[in-house]
Amino acid sequence: AAGVIQSPRHLIKEKRETATLKCYPIPRHDTVYWYQQGPGQDPQFLISFYEKMQSDKGSIPDRFSAQQFSDYHSELNMSSLELGDSALYFCASSSPARTGGHNSPLHFGNGTRLTVT
């Protein structure tokens, strides 16, 4: 079965550079989530999109922005990178199970490991 695809798998950037991470959700999934996982930490929610509109916002710095496109893929844009931005960035998607109050589980990609030097 198709899974969530993230690219690139690894990215090395210098301080103050910009980076763009891409996420391709599972087909027919309409909701995309971005998470940041620092070393030894649990994943922290950054932002989510439902039907191409931002649906929720977590601890995403102002230097970061994201969007979901018409084909449901999403991109996380990161500017003025700092050493502390080094982390695993996960994208997750969920299916349109918003009937009867049920929520479908999040399916995660393998992540993009960003290293800022």
Question: Contact 109/4 with Cβ under 8 angstroms?
Answer: yes
Binding mask 14-53 for other proteins (x = CB under 8 A): -------------------x-------xxx-x--------
CB of 79 to other proteins, least distance (A): 25
Task: Out of 36, 90, 114, 116, point to the residue binding other proteins (CB under 8 A).
Answer: 90
Contact indicator for 96, 102 with CB cutoff of 8 Å? no
Task: Give the span between the Cα atoms of 72 and 60, in whole angstroms.
Answer: 20
Question: According to the binding rule CB under 8 A, does residue 84 interact with other proteins?
Answer: no
CB 8 within 8 A of CB 111: no
Counting contacts by CB under 8 A, is residue 56 touching other proteins? yes
The full DSSP string for 47-74 is: EEEETTEEEEE-S--TTEEEEE-TTS-E
* Sole binder of other proteins in the list 20, 55, 95, 115 (CB under 8 A): 55
Q: Count of residues for the chain?
A: 117
Q: For other proteins, which is the closer residue by CB, 79 or 95?
A: 95
Q: Which residues would be at the binding site for other proteins (CB under 8 A)?
A: 33, 41-43, 45, 55-56, 90, 92, 101-103, 105-111, 113
